[in-house]
Structure 1
Amino acid sequence: MHAIFYGVFLQAELILGINRIKPYGEILLQLQSNFLTFEGTAGFKMIRRKFKSVLIIAFMIVIVISTIKTNIDNTSKTNRFVKQNLYSQTVLISKSVIERFDHEVDCRRIIEGDELEIAYALEVLRNGDYNCSSNDDVRNNAQNCERFLKMFNFNRFTISKEEIDFPIAFSLLVHKDAVQMEILLRAIYRPHNVYCIHIDRKSNSSLHDAMTAVTKCLPNVFIASKLEDVIYASYSRLQADINCMQDLLNYTDVKWEYLINLPAQEYPLKTNLEMVKILKLFNGTNSIESVYDTATHYRVNETYKVNLKTLKVESTKQRKPPPPHNMTVGKGSAYGAFSRRFVEFALNDERAQDLLKWTEDTYSPDEFFWATLAINKHLGTPGIQYNALGFPDRKLWITTSTTWQSPGPGVNCHGRYVRDICIFGLRDLQKLVSEKEFFANKFYHDYQPYALKCMEEWIFNKSATGNNLPTDLFYYRLALNST
């Protein structure tokens, strides 16, 4: 009989936990005490009959409570299942599985700077037959969307609610290589973000066809409504970004928080979750490079135009009037992480539009427009944090890591330089993965191709395993609070 009392009590305790079942347990134990007191007396049979009735009621209470808890658990599991399947393309990846994208070389050892593995990879590339994909390959693969999404991991993500609640817009520029764009897109793609691709209008049809095929497989990726003939250092490069930004503002399906513009040759150093956490910390502050640089004033003190024969931007040697609204010209990167309020300001404010018009005949206006909006405090440009000297805080420039060619000792680039910018190679990866910026500029998928392949493996596995790990935000908090 003792066992019956404790059996009921323990069963209830397992179902609800000791604190929740305590009142029921006390009742049962009290009943047991009463039973032992009267056992052997004349009234024992009557008490035993009453106890059996109480015991039956107690068992029924436990069964009812157990049934209710089971239904609650099932409902909770169903809700979690529905939430995880908000996007039919999303498949959660095992947190413990590290995948290798290429078994010919060991990317982990390469990224760790292992010289023997790097030398082996370079030897494989010299002696092997490494076939790079083409625009036609991208188009043909995307003809079958199910195969395309599976082949390139577009349907495998770990997405947190924090990311879903903080969508990002991307303006992506491509002029010759669908393969390069597809590699970047698969690294940054999430079904709750939105992506505008601007294709150089004069590019060959194979690029246009390939990108059109890709966008048909990804509902939140689209081609800009207006395409430009993009010429290096001309206004058309800036206009291409403006076109995508306008389309992204008009895109009503996603209320994005920040917009990041990128060329196809960049590659992420941070996962989507890491970028979300950092941008939430920025809380509307932009990441725009903006300095006062007299060495580049020749680009805006004279007027420039495109030579239609050479398709190069050339000076007319004619003096250019100063910028409107008493603005100081700032110099910076063509790329940035812009808050939604900043984009609205840049595209709609009358003074910003006057500046945009003024830049049309300058040299490389994409390097002056954003920077000039940021450097002029009297404009009241949204999301600019200034340092003690009244200039935009350089420490908040975290969008793009670029290695420029410069004189002096030391090796900054282990790849090769094109237009004074490093095209990263295998020996650059160890440094890149420790950078604080969001993206690295530039990679070529057909130059030391294991470099980009290893970066793919690294960012994929970091995305797959990093959702349960804390994000290192110390550097970014310090940058925001140091002015």
Structure 2
Amino acid sequence: MTSVDLANVESYNHTLENLMKTLQNYRENVKCDEIVKHEAKGPALIDAHKWTFNYRKFENSFFRGKEDMCESIKSTFGFLDKPLSQEENEYPLAYGMLVHTNPIQILFLLSAVYQPQNQFCIAVDGKASDRFKKQMFYLSECFPNIFVMVTGKVFWCEHSVLQGVFGCVQYLAKLKADWKYYQYLSGVDLPLKTNLEMVRIFKKLNGSFNAGIHDLPKERYKHGKDPPIPLWKSSLSATFSRESAEFMVSDPKVWQVYKYLKGTLCPDESFWATIAGNADLISMPGGFNATSWREHLTGEYRPVDTVTGVHEASTASTLFTTEFPETVLPNPVPKKTEAVQYDLFKPEKYYISRYQVWYNRSSPDAINSCYGIFARDSCVFGIRDLPVLIKRPELVAHKLYFSIQPATYFCLYEHVRKRALIRNQDFCVDAYGELPGPKLLAGTSIEDVQFGDYREYKYY
């Protein structure tokens, strides 16, 4: 591929610093490096915890009276006009989003993952205000690689969520642009990796489909109607290749699953693992055998009812259990007393698409992994979580709010953006190639694949 001009990092470092200075009292009261250095202890933590961000005031000021909104968006948030490296230019990525509010947080998020070779699809909730829709359409006017569409009215845990997200996959799959890997982003996510780091990680994934797997409770099945294939629970956040995207939007069996899930509870959490985890029934590129993975992750064997597709003995309580039999596997699971080791490029779990902490009163590990608050049983990270967040091996963190200890958001945002602008090429992501997905695709026997910690079955 012909070499391209690269972005001027000195200029973008200057833009980033100016952006952080626009956050009132941020530089004076939030010392991110001190918080990380002292592992979230001391006076720096107290000051950062107290700092607040008036995002509504920031929004009103930003969108008021701009003659050239496109120039304002690009120059204020530092959207890159050129790639940061030739390697990134040759391996474009794709992102899908479903959004409904807080345009400033979306602009910050996009500026953290944006490069001109990447492709973006933003589905806007039909219930969103006209003002918000207008603000989102600025993006499609300003950037040729950002597509914005208004979907139907979206309601939490209903099929409308899946409809909006899958609509973006359909759009992206039909593009002529040669993007390689897709990620879903929530409006309250932030990347834990730079674009270059993600590019190299995706190369190691080698076409594998990264989705969480868990038993789907019986009450999430459609009453009186059997599913076309066995169903699995997962997260809305998944990562998969262009080949997977092109396959799923045209495969009849995938569409049968999509239609069956209409009217079920939280179908967005039943889709990815189901269409990717039934490799014997759907020939998904990069797919896997979720039943087999489950056995190796838990030491339990649960046959699937061939008529209903329901996993035997699957109940809602299994979603929150931490006790699994100490069954001897080809790769025995660690004892519970063994510490799980991870770092920035050393994943501890097979599921790397998203770092999310769910509330589980029976698991001190979960409660002690969240220093913010729990909203809908999912952690909104706080400033004491920062030292962990900057070292997590997953691709993105979910979730961070401007209204809850916002210093967490901006410290993480600034940290990852600065790391990208350093243009460091000297890092190793080989550990991602050792994950079950790429290993099995490469022909390794499942008996020789390391599935690791007993807690991995709880992908979240």
User: In the TM superposition, what is the alpha-carbon distance from 1:228 to its structure 2 partner?
Assistant: 1.7
Equivalent AA in structure 1 for residue 368 of structure 2: V
> Of residues 232, 237, 240 in structure 1, which corresponds to 2:156?
232
Structure 1 vs Structure 2 CA RMSD: 2.7
2:49 maps to 1:122? yes
Give the structure 1 partner of residue 358 of structure 2: 404
Give the structure 2 partner of residue 271 of structure 1: 194
Find the aligned partners of 2:146 and 2:416 in 1 and give their Cα distance: 21
Equivalent AA in structure 1 for residue 187 of structure 2: A
Q: Secondary structure at the match of 1:348?
A: coil
> Of residues 421, 424, 427 in structure 2, which corresponds to 1:468?
424
Equivalent AA in structure 2 for residue 400 of structure 1: R
User: In the TM superposition, what is the alpha-carbon distance from 1:145 to its structure 2 partner?
Assistant: 2.1
Equivalent AA in structure 2 for residue 273 of structure 1: L
User: In the TM superposition, what is the alpha-carbon distance from 1:157 to its structure 2 partner?
Assistant: 6.5
2:409 maps to 1:456? no
Find the aligned partners of 2:123 and 2:61 in 1 and give their Cα distance: 20
User: In the TM superposition, what is the alpha-carbon distance from 1:358 to its structure 2 partner?
Assistant: 0.6
Is the contact between residue 139 and residue 148 of structure 2 (CA under 8 Å) also seen in structure 1?
A: no
Q: What does residue range 87-106 of structure 1 map to in structure 2 within 5 Å?
A: 90-93=7-10, 101=20, 102-104=26-28, 105-106=30-31
User: In the TM superposition, what is the alpha-carbon distance from 1:402 to its structure 2 partner?
Assistant: 0.4
User: In the TM superposition, what is the alpha-carbon distance from 1:251 to its structure 2 partner?
Assistant: 2.3
Give the structure 1 partner of residue 168 of structure 2: 244
Equivalent AA in structure 2 for residue 276 of structure 1: V
Give the structure 1 partner of residue 219 of structure 2: 298
Q: What does residue range 49-448 of structure 1 map to in structure 2 within 5 Å?
A: 83-84=4-5, 90-93=7-10, 101=20, 102-104=26-28, 105-112=30-37, 113-116=39-42, 117-125=44-52, 130=54, 132-133=56-57, 135-140=59-64, 143-155=68-80, 159-224=84-149, 227-252=151-176, 254-291=177-214, 293-294=215-216, 296-300=217-221, 302=222, 319-324=223-228, 327-378=229-280, 379-386=282-289, 389-391=292-294, 395-408=349-362, 409=364, 411-448=368-405
Is the contact between residue 414 and residue 425 of structure 1 (CA under 8 Å) also seen in structure 2?
A: yes
Find the aligned partners of 1:98 and 1:229 in 2 and give their Cα distance: 37
Is the contact between residue 375 and residue 392 of structure 1 (CA under 8 Å) also seen in structure 2?
A: no
Q: How many residues align?
A: 373
Equivalent AA in structure 1 for residue 109 of structure 2: L
Equivalent AA in structure 2 for residue 351 of structure 1: K
Q: 1:94 to 1:178 in 2, by over 3 A?
A: closer
User: In the TM superposition, what is the alpha-carbon distance from 1:339 to its structure 2 partner?
Assistant: 0.9
TM-score (norm 2): 0.75
Equivalent AA in structure 2 for residue 457 of structure 1: E
Deviation by residue 1:260-310 (Cα, 9 ceiling, x = unmatched) = 11110110000000000010111111111123x15x22111x4xxxxxxxx
Is the contact between residue 381 and residue 399 of structure 2 (CA under 8 Å) also seen in structure 1?
A: yes
Q: Structure 1 regions of 5+ residues with no counterpart?
A: 1-79, 303-318
Q: 1:114 to 1:280 in 2, by over 3 A?
A: same
Find the aligned partners of 1:357 and 1:98 in 2 and give their Cα distance: 46
Q: Secondary structure at the match of 2:211?
A: coil
Is the contact between residue 385 and residue 393 of structure 1 (CA under 8 Å) also seen in structure 2?
A: no
Find the aligned partners of 1:424 and 1:227 in 2 and give their Cα distance: 29
Find the aligned partners of 2:88 and 2:425 in 1 and give their Cα distance: 15
Find the aligned partners of 1:478 and 1:412 in 2 and give their Cα distance: 26
Q: Percent identity?
A: 29
Find the aligned partners of 2:117 and 2:62 in 1 and give their Cα distance: 23
Find the aligned partners of 1:200 and 1:97 in 2 and give their Cα distance: 35
Is the contact between residue 285 and residue 384 of structure 1 (CA under 8 Å) also seen in structure 2?
A: yes
**Higher mean C-alpha displacement, 393-402 vs 369-378:** 393-402
User: In the TM superposition, what is the alpha-carbon distance from 1:155 to its structure 2 partner?
Assistant: 3.3
Q: Secondary structure at the match of 2:407?
A: helix
Q: Which structure's CA Rg is the greater one?
A: 1
Deviation by residue 1:332-370 (Cα, 9 ceiling, x = unmatched) = 111111111111222111111111111111111111111
Equivalent AA in structure 1 for residue 9 of structure 2: L
TM-score (norm 1): 0.71
Is the contact between residue 51 and residue 405 of structure 2 (CA under 8 Å) also seen in structure 1?
A: no
Deviation by residue 1:25-57 (Cα, 9 ceiling, x = unmatched) = xxxxxxxxxxxxxxxxxxxxxxxxxxxxxxxxx
Q: Secondary structure at the match of 2:112?
A: helix
Q: Secondary structure at the match of 1:267?
A: strand
